[in-house]
Each structure stands twice: as structure tokens, then as C-alpha cells.
Chains A and B, each alone.
Chain A
Amino acid sequence: MSEEYVLETRNLVKEFKGFVAVDDVNLNIRNGHIHALIGPNGAGKTTVFNLLTKFLIPTRGQILFNGRDITTMKSAAIAREGVVRSFQISAVFPHMTALENIRVALQSFEGNSFSFWKSGNCLNKLNHRAMELLDSVGLADFAHITTVELAYGRKRALELATTLAMEPQLMLLDEPTQGMGAEDVGQVVELVRKAAVGRTVLMVEHNLSVVSKLCDRITVLAQGAVLTEGDYKTVSADPRVREVYMGSASDSKASEKEANA
């Protein structure tokens, strides 16, 4: 049973001084799935995300990765185990070149990261793999560019390549298309689809058209609790989902508006 699910949460609760941000959430992320976490603003999506990646500590409940309890492990430790996250705002190292960005990720497996006496040239052996990863997201031509000078869409592509460099078993993407124009969104969808081969992905996403194109399964959060779960058809047909998104049910144009949001 635990083989079937890469990530499970059991009765996950996060309370901030008198306010319950995440309320008794049970998630089951199936192996190989692209799973979306959606919900209106303030539903607790990002909080759940931060709990899963240990940037926040749960008040109660358990988090299991491959059936193993990782509730008390640290962020850096689970990253090395294969749970790697991205961030809402593009998380790159702005004053490094694109190549160096990737190398930072590759380096974390090298075991020389505390060697302050060694020459930096010993990192050049990672360049080949780094170039491959850049090429896979269409950034090979920008390898030598300082990241701060890259366009927004390319920064996100770089971030994805950096995440892939960690060879994660489970990728957690926090709003990968946030703040993007329509063309970039299409590109990111393709990138995520490619990156997801052989992995499991959990993503928070506002853009429902992206969710409908990519995701095998969707969990809807509202006010910190799970409202419903299922595939896109089931979820989008659920009147309760429309209600939390639109404030009132039975608006036939609602789902269309959401899709374009």
C-alpha cells in the first residue's frame, strides 16, 4: 500500500496563534502522477507546501515519504532524499551564470562542498552534465549569461533545470506559471510534462487550464481543509468547488472564467 503512494500526509494540522491554516489534511500522492493542489487565495496551499518541504513545522500530523515518516526531518535532508521544491517567485541565484546555477545543484552530491581549500576548477567536471540539463530546457545558448539578465520565462526554465539536476523522485512546484504571459505558460506546461516523466509531481497552480492539461489528479483546498479530490472532470463539475471559487454556485460561465484566469 505504501509503495503505491510516494507521499502521504495523515491528519496534517498547522496552527498559527489561534488560526488554523491547515486543518486535518490527508493527501495521497500516487507514484508517477502529476497531482495538483488548487483552491482560492488563502486556502492554505502554500502552507501545505511549506509543511511538506519542512520550511514550516506541522502542529500535528504525519508526513510519509515512500512509507517512511519524514515529519521531523530537515529541509536540506529531505532534498537529498529526493523531495525537491521550487518557489513561487523564481528561485535562482541571480549573480551566477546559468551554468553555475545548475552546478550548485549538481555539487550537492559531490561531497566536496565543505572543501574550502580546493580550487574551484574541480567543479568543471560537472559542466558536461550541466550543459545537458540546460540544453534540455532550451537554455544551452544562455549558459554563460548572468541569471539576473535572463527573461522571466527563462529564469523559470532555469529553475526547473536546477530542480531536475537534483534527480528528484518527487518534485514540488509552487505555481510554476505564476506571472507569465500566455506563450510562456505553454512552454512551461511542455517543460513540466517532459520533466515529469518517471517522476511524481505535486504542484500548486492557479491557472486551471494548466491543471486541466497536465494533472492526473486534483485536490481542492478551502479554508485549510480538503474540499474534494478527483480528476479534473469530477472536480470541475463539483458545485462546491465553484462555490468556493466564485462565491456562488450555478454560474454557467464560472468554469470558463476560471480556465482563463
Chain B
Amino acid sequence: MSNSVNPADIHKTMLDQQKSEHRRRLILNLVLLALLMVAPMVMYPVFLMKILCFALFAVAFNLLLGFTGLLSFGHAAFLASGAYTTGYLLTTFSGLSTELGIIAGTLVATLLGLGFALVAIRRQGIYFAMITLALSQLVFFFFVQSSFTGGEDGLHGIPRGQFLGLIDLNDNLNMYYFVLAVFLAGYLLVQRIVDSPYGQVLKAIKQNEPRAISLGYNVNRYKIIAFVISAGLAGLAGSMKTVVFQLASLNDAHWHMSGEVILMTLLGGTGTLLGPVVGAAFVVNLEYQLSQGPLADWVDAILGTIFVLTVLMFQSGIVGQVQKFMKKNIG
């Protein structure tokens, strides 16, 4: 404080820093986009689409865990409600265009998310997680019992149909670019939210909730909105997955799925935008590779071990570690 620097100068430096950070992120996003654009030339498009669907699911989940500080253990319910809604509508009404089926699936998941949020939001930490788990088990039970889901068999042979009645989605490459566009929309939405004035309040709530309350914020309302958006995007991921694989099954609703998305997010890095995407790619890829080899029966055990190691040794996840490394060595 003795060497008095002009506050205006400090302020200007900060703005410059902000700008260069935005520029860096823009470049990173463009590189990523370019990679994803050419990826189907070298890799099997259906496999890539699987990764993108789970990546969107994990990005949606991370809006809660990484940016709001809420651990939901029931996100499978949203993935599945999106999947079943879209699957049922597209199978039953053959004239329905694909995008309407997807929008309907997203809306159902959004509304379900509102229901979950209103019940769970008053509780914190482990109690919040347990309530979301219990609610998602109720949803699971509902899907098992209902006839429109096909019960244990699930829904099969769901038509992919056409996008806007113009583009034939039965072509894997067309389908891929459609999925990519939806994924990017979801990803950029979350990025925008995190950067927005609203995102700033979420950050504050995550870091010190009592203080946010004492500064006049009705924190529950902020949390509910985050939860609903997250649920809606998870539903969107489920709807997309249904169209890609032309099936919806109880797998999506099982609590395993809620656990898997936690694993993907933690492994990739919570609180980073790219973390869940990397985590999803890693887990989907690993599951695929292992299922091809002699360790097929050990998939769960290996994933479990990786999870434990992540939590114990590098909590900031893959992307978090890379960021730390870059900061240290490049500055």
C-alpha cells in the first residue's frame, strides 16, 4: 500500500487479462470444433455420437456439481425421461419430425427437474444427494411398471426420421453433424451461463452460501433454476441418445447411470468447462476398449479403482491437472 498504484491502472490490467483469457478460450473452442468436425473421417461416427451424448449429459451435470456446488445423485431420471419420451413419441406418431420428439423429451425432463428441485432444494450436502437418489428410484420404478416404456425390454427400432423433413438422419454422417450441433449448443449455453451475471451468483453461492444470503440473494431460487436447466440438458442428451441408437432402455434410468456421470465429471475435472467432455470421452472409450478384451467382466471394478484414485490423488481431474501444469510452466 506504500507504493500507491493508481486503481485505474490495476483495473485496466485486469480487463486486459480478462480479454486475453477470453481469446485463449475462443481459440481452444475453435480447435476443438475443428477436431470434432473431421473426427468422423477417422473414427466410427456412432461411437463418436455416443461420446457426444454422454459429454452433453456430463456438461449438464457439471453445471450443478462444478458451478453450483450441488451433488445430484438422480440425474439418470432426467436422461431416461428424455430418452423414453422421445422414443415413445417417435415410435407412436410416425409423422412426427425428429426435432419435435427431441424437444418434447427435453421439456419433460425439464419439468421433472423442477419437481425434483422443489422437493430437494431445502436440504444440503449428503441429504440433497439422498433425496435426488430416492426420487430417481421412484422414477425408475415408474418406468419399470409403465407399459409405454416396454418395461424390462425397453423401446427398440425407434425411427431416426428426418431433421426438419429435409435431412435424412438415417445416414450416420448426417446424424453425427446433427448431434454435434446440438452438443455445441448445449456446451455453449453452459459456458454462457457460467460467465453470466447469474453464473457469478452461482459461484458465490457455491463458495460461501451464508454470505450470499447475507448479501440479499434468495439462494434457493438460484439453485432451482440451475437444477432445472441441468435437468433439461440431461434430458436433451437422453433424447439424442435415443435417436442415435434407436433404443431407450432401463439402463438409462438405473442409478448406475447417475453414478457414471459423477465419475465422468470428477475424472475430467469439476468446475472446468471442458472437464466433463474429456471425462465422458475417457470413460466411454475405456468401457469400449475393455469390453473388447479379456477384462470385459472387470469393467466396473476398473472404473471403481480409477474413481478412488481420482478422488484420493488428483481431485481437480484431468483438465484441472492440465490447467495447473500450464499455469506453472507457461504462466
Interface residues of A (CB under 8 A from B): 53, 55, 74-77, 79-80, 84-87, 91-97, 99-100, 103-105, 107-108, 110, 112-120, 122-124, 127-128, 131-132, 134-135, 138, 140-141, 143-144, 162, 166
Whole-angstrom distance between the alpha carbons of A143 and B1 in the complex? 12
* 8 pairs from A and B in contact (CB 8 Å cutoff): A75-B213, A77-B216, A104-B204, A116-B198, A116-B199, A120-B199, A128-B11, A143-B10
In the complex, how many residues of chain B place their beta carbon closer than 8 angstroms to a beta carbon of chain A? Answer: 38
B200 touches A107 (CB 8 A): yes
Given contacts A120-B196, A144-B13, contact A79 B201 (CB under 8 A): no
A143 touches B197 (CB 8 A): no
Whole-angstrom distance between the alpha carbons of A86 and B219 in the complex? 17
A93 touches B203 (CB 8 A): yes
Whole-angstrom distance between the alpha carbons of A77 and B213 in the complex? 9
Whole-angstrom distance between the alpha carbons of A120 and B195 in the complex? 5
- Known contacts A76-B219, A144-B10; 4 additional CB pairs below 8 A are A84-B216, A93-B211, A135-B7, A143-B10
A141 touches B5 (CB 8 A): yes
Asked if B263 is at the interface (CB within 8 A of a chain A CB), the reply is: no
Complex interface residues of chain B between 211 and 228 (CB less than 8 A to chain A)? 211-219, 221-222, 225
Interface centre among B192, B196, B210, B212 (most CB of A within 10 A): B196
Q: Nearest chain A CB to B202's CB is how many angstroms away?
A: 9
User: Which of A55, A93, A117 is B192 in contact with, Cβ under 8 Å?
Assistant: A117
Count CB-based A-B contacts (< 8 Å).
Answer: 129
A144 touches B200 (CB 8 A): no
Q: Nearest chain A CB to B273's CB is how many angstroms away?
A: 14
Q: Top 4 closest A-B pairs, CB basis?
A: A79-B216, A116-B198, A91-B211, A120-B195
Whole-angstrom distance between the alpha carbons of A105 and B229 in the complex? 25
Question: CB-CB < 8 A to B100: which residues of A?
Answer: none
Q: Nearest chain B CB to A49's CB is how many angstroms away?
A: 11
Whole-angstrom distance between the alpha carbons of A37 and B99 in the complex? 63
Q: Nearest chain A CB to B69's CB is how many angstroms away?
A: 11
User: Which of A76, A86, A96, A141 is B10 in contact with, Cβ under 8 Å?
Assistant: A141
Closest residue of A by beta carbon distance from B15? A124
B204 touches A76 (CB 8 A): no
B218 touches A74 (CB 8 A): yes
Question: CB-CB < 8 A to A105: which residues of B?
Answer: 215
Whole-angstrom distance between the alpha carbons of A113 and B200 in the complex? 8
A84 touches B196 (CB 8 A): no
Q: Nearest chain A CB to B108's CB is how many angstroms away?
A: 21
B196 touches A117 (CB 8 A): yes
B204 touches A96 (CB 8 A): yes
User: Which of B1, B4, B201 is A113 in contact with, Cβ under 8 Å?
Assistant: B201
A84 touches B7 (CB 8 A): no
Q: Nearest chain B CB to A100's CB is how many angstroms away?
A: 7
Asked if B207 is at the interface (CB within 8 A of a chain A CB), the reply is: yes
User: Which of B11, B196, B208, B212 is A118 in contact with, Cβ under 8 Å?
Assistant: B196
User: Which of A53, A114, A117, A119 is B214 in contact with, Cβ under 8 Å?
Assistant: A53
Complex interface residues of chain B between 163 and 213 (CB less than 8 A to chain A)? 192-193, 195-201, 203-204, 207-208, 210-213
